[in-house]
Every structure is written in C-alpha cells, then in structure tokens.
C-alpha cells in the first residue's frame, strides 16, 4: 500500500483563498502523474481482508427506499456510475438490503451514506483495539519535524471477503448493489483498516511513523543529553482512607509506588532514573531487617525498576511542597471584614467579663504583663501559635454570631458546611467551643435548609391526631429558642395551641 500527497500552502499575504497553486507544484504533479493516478478496481493480494461474521440465527435485514429530491437523485446517479466504473460495487441479487440517504457536508455538498445499523447489530464485534491516543502523543516527545499523510479512499483499498460481499448489499432507485471493497459504516471497518495499516508499516512504527486509522504522522526525533530538566507530566492522588493514619515514611513510600504504577510504561526497563525525596530514612528502605506485609509487597513491586534514590532536603526542594506547607496563604481561604471602633469596644468589654480570657486580659493590661504567647494589640487579645497570630474570641453570643455570619454567610464565603467552616475559623481565631458554636449555627441556617440536599434519612410520615370534640380538650405545647435576649431578658417562646381553636404565644426565660 503506497501513496503520495502534495499540498501547496499559499503565502501569508495571500489576499484570496482561491489563488492559483504554485506553478512548480503543478509541473511536479504533471511530471509524476502516474504516481497520483486514482485507484481503480479491487486491489488484490492484501494480507488483510474485511470479514463480516454474524451471530447465530441472524435474519437478513431489509430497508425501504426513501423518496429523494432531484438534487439527491442526480448525486446518487453520479456516485453510482463512478463506483461502478471503478469496480468497487456491482449489481446484486442478495436478500440483504440497507437503505441509502444523504447528509449535507460543511461545504454544502451531499455525502452518500448507507444505513448499516441493522447489519451492525447482528455482527460479532472485532476484538482488535485501536491505538491509545495518549501512547501516540507520548511518542512525539522530542520530535522536531512532522509530516502528516491522510489517505484518500483508504477504506476502499481493502477487499471484502468474497463470501461476505452479499451482506453489504444496499437498495437504491437505480438498482440493487453490493460492495467489493470495504465501505464506510460497517462496525468492524475501523479495526480492519487499523490492522491493515499496522501490517503495512510494521517496520516503521514507533520509530518515525505513527498511525491512527487513515491518518499517518511521520516525525523526526532529536534527543539531547544533559541535565536540563523540565516537567513532562503532573500526577496527584488522594491518600486512600486505609492509609490515612499511617506515618509519614509509609505515606511517602506509598506515593512513590503510585508514581511507579502511573508511569510504569515509561520506567520499566529504563536504566538509572532518579527518585528524589526529602525523606532521608526512606532512601534506605532496602536495609530494614523487618517490614510489614504491606511494605513487603511494595518493595517487591519496586524491585522491578532500576533507579537511584536521592535525598534532597526540604529546604532545597520547597517547590514540591509549596501547596501543602502554607495552606493559610491560599487566596480562596482568606477572608477579611472591617473591625470598626464599635466592634473593638465590643471585644474589650467581652474580654473583661469572659471566663476564659478575663483574668489573662487583666494581667496583660497591667504595667508588668507576664511573659507568654498571648499579647494585646489595639485592644485585641492575640495568641501567637505556629508562626502566626490568632485572634481570641470571647464567649459573647452577638460577637460570635457576627463572626460566624461574616465567615460563612457572606457572598464570598459560600455557606460551607460544619467541617470547612471550622477549618477556616481555626486559621484566624482562638475560639473556645468552636465546634459546638459552628454546629449549632450551621444547623439553624435557613438558606442551607432550603438549598442544600439532605444528608440524613428522611423523616417518618406524619400521623394526624383525631380532631377534638370541644375546645380545651386537647392542647399542644412547644418551647422554641434560644433567641437573642430582649430588654426584659426573654430568650425563648412557648407556643400553646388549642388544637381545635387557636394558638397563644407566651414569652418566657428558657435559661
């Protein structure tokens, strides 16, 4: 199987896409016109022929002839004449008969299509796979020059097995025909064509030729030796729950095993690649006297590869852990709001009466404050922990409610759940009873109740109670709260309902 195709690209300053071709290209095509002669007849002696193997008990499918416009009939007659002249189809008396139809191309021309869906449903699928796209792309690493070939009428240059030709019959207004060459639309046609191309170019594959169906890519590789490293691919994986409680050494060894599995097709059989890690004891994993069953299996897998472990201290390899070392600097987790003078006075009053920070705040406000990790800045009590200052939050209901609203209910907060809200607040505050406060606040959020899906089992069905015969016979009561205290100290509502008549609201003190 051979072919040669030339295409003249117009200059960049061409004013029209209809400009004539380069005369040198025209002269070259005329001089070698025999090379570019269109294919005719069935190409004999191909090692690959298309077969159509049907399932047991398959019944020959038949299709009707659809009505066509004058334009479609004209194109149909012309294409049938061309296929008959080339010897690719012939008249048939087969009991099979698929119908034909036309689809409009992008350039408004009509494309003849044959509906082989019923035949394909009865055909046993070919097990030959197509090449993996990612494998083909990886083979292009280091290539400098490319040449692309797209075969013309490639399917029609493969013969259909003689005993299967009658199965490809199709009906038209101008006769009943069957294919001698492989048409488009058959279920196993791509696999057959790929097998033919692989057989034809086997001695060139993965050296300088890549093939995917009728597209051929010729590339010239160029390789440089040296230490000019650059990333080829990135890979990340979440630690499985079963390994989440393992120590750091075991987790980093697991990460290396996952990387070897991910790039096994690259690394297996390659000599002397380097494994870089910031865990120095991990480079001596082979010298351990006793190992667990899990690490033993990992070591058995790792021993297949030929590599050199190299320890690089964390200070010299900061880029590898840049995303995990300082999560508090992530822009998406940062949130700020204005601390005005009123809020500052509110903090100071709450500190002075707070059971957790009151005594400490008084000591730090004195002339001789004790030396510890707490300090007062502009009236705010700060705790220095892990290289940053955390704002201490006193036990004040209104103050904590405002902070929760700013860090959870604002437009940039996103109404996170309990765990994510706690994680965000822990990055900024020293907050006693944080889990209790956040859980209670999230459970009372009306927006979340309306918008978020439920993550609990549905409530049981209601069973209505019988209607009372007279007023006062059946009374229901409920206590609702805790609400912000009013000027009289009320923080709850007792609802008293006479089930036959009406309801009465009674203010109360819940605590």
Better-predicted residue by pLDDT, 295 or 392:
392
Cβ-proximal residues to 96 (8 Å cutoff; 6+ apart), any chain: 60, 61, 62, 119, 166, 167, 168, 169, 178
pTM above 0.85, yes or no: no
Q: Residue 429 in contact with residue 390, Cβ under 8 Å? A: yes
Task: List, in sequence order, the alpha helices (H) in 111-247.
Answer: 117-122, 133-138, 189-200
- What's the confidence (pLDDT) of residue 213? 62
pLDDT (mean) for 291-304: 80
Go through the domains of the chain in sequence order and give each one's CATH number.
23-221 (3.10.10.10), 241-325 (no CATH), 329-451 (1.10.340.70), 475-508 (no CATH)
Report residue 139's pLDDT band, with 50, 70 and 90 as the boundaries.
Answer: low
Three-state SS string over 448-463 comes to: HHHHCCCCCCCCCCCC
Q: What pLDDT is recorded for position 14?
A: 43
How large a percentage of the chain has pLDDT more than 70?
A: 77
**Averaged pLDDT for residues 96-105:** 85
Torsion sign over Cα 402, 405, 406, 411: negative
Pairing of strands 307-311, 273-277: parallel
Out of 153-157, 208-212, 491-495, which region has the weakest mean confidence (pLDDT)?
208-212
pLDDT in tens, 167-192: 999 999 899 999 999 888 888 888 88
Instruction: For the chain, give the mean pLDDT.
Output: 78
Torsion, Cα 160 164 166 167, to 10 degrees, reads -100
- Give the least confident one: 83-87, 190-194, 267-271, 478-482: 267-271
Residue 216 pLDDT class (50, 70, 90 cuts):
low
Range scoring the smallest mean pLDDT among 30-39, 150-159, 371-380: 30-39
Q: How far apart are CA 150 and CA 46, in angstroms?
A: 20
Q: Tens of pLDDT along 334-373?
A: 455 567 788 888 888 888 888 888 888 888 888 888 878 8
Which has the higher per-residue pLDDT, 313 or 43?
313
Where residue 266 falls among pLDDT bands split at 50, 70, 90? Answer: confident
405 φ, ψ to 5°?
-65, -40
CA distance 466 to 474: 10
Residue 349: how many other CB atoms lie within 10 Å: 13
Neighbours of 510 (CB within 10 A): 13
Q: What is the pLDDT, as a whole number, of residue 18? A: 46
Q: Is the pLDDT of residue 417 over 70?
A: yes
Q: Is 80 exceeded by the pLDDT of residue 389?
A: yes
């Amino acid at each position: 199987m051979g072919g040669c195709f030339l295409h003249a690209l117009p200059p960049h300053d061409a004013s029209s896409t209809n400009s004539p071709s380069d005369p040198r290209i025209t002269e070259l095509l005329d001089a070698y016109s025999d090379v570019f002669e269109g294919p005719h007849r069935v190409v004999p002696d191909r090692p690959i022929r298309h077969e159509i193997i049907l399932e047991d008990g398959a019944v020959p499918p038949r299709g009707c002839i659809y009505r066509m416009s004058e334009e479609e009939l004209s194109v149909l007659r012309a294409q049938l004449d061309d296929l008959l002249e080339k010897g690719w189809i012939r008249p048939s008396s087969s009991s099979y008969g698929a119908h034909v139809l036309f689809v409009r191309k992008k350039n408004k021309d009509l494309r003849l299509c044959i509906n082989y869906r019923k035949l394909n449903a009865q055909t046993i699928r070919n097990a030959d796979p197509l090449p993996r796209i990612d494998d083909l792309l990886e083979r292009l690493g280091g290539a400098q020059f490319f040449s692309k070939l797209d075969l013309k009428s490639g399917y029609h240059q493969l013969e259909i097995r003689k005993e299967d030709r009658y199965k490809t019959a199709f009906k038209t207004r101008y006769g009943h025909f069957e294919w001698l060459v492989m048409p488009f639309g058959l279920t196993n046609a791509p696999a057959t064509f790929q097998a033919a191309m692989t057989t034809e170019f086997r001695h060139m594959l993965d050296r300088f030729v890549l093939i995917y169906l009728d597209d051929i890519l010729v590339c010239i590789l160029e390789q440089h030796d040296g230490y000019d490293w650059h990333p080829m691919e990135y890979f990340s994986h979440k630690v499985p729950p079963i390994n989440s409680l393992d120590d750091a050494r075991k987790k980093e060894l697991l990460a290396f095993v996952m990387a070897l599995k991910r790039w096994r097709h690259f690394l297996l059989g390659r000599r002397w690649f380097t494994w870089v890690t910031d865990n120095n004891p991990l480079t001596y994993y082979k010298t351990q006297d006793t190992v667990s069953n899990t690490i033993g299996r990992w070591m058995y897998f790792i021993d297949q590869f030929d590599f050199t472990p190299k320890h690089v201290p964390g200070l010299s390899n900061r880029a590898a852990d840049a995303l995990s070392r300082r999560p508090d600097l992530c822009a998406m987790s940062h949130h700020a709001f204005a601390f005005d003078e009123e809020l500052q006075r509110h903090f100071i009053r709450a500190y002075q009466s707070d059971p957790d920070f009151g005594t400490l705040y008084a000591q730090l406000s004195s002339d001789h404050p004790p030396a510890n990790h707490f300090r007062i800045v502009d009236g705010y009590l700060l705790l220095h922990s892990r290289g940053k200052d955390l704002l201490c939050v006193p036990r004040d209901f209104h103050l904590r409610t405002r902070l929760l609203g700013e860090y959870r209910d604002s437009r940039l907060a996103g109404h996170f759940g309990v765990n994510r809200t706690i994680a965000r607040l822990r990055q900024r505050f020293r907050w006693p009873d944080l889990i209790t406060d956040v859980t209670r606040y999230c459970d009372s959020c009306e927006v979340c109740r309306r918008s978020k899906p439920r993550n609990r089992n549905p409530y049981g069905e209601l069973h209505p109670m019988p209607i009372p015969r007279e007023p006062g016979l059946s009374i229901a009561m409920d206590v609702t709260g805790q609400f912000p205290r009013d000027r009289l100290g009320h923080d709850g509502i007792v609802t008293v309902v006479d089930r036959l008549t009406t309801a009465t609201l009674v203010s109360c003190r819940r605590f």
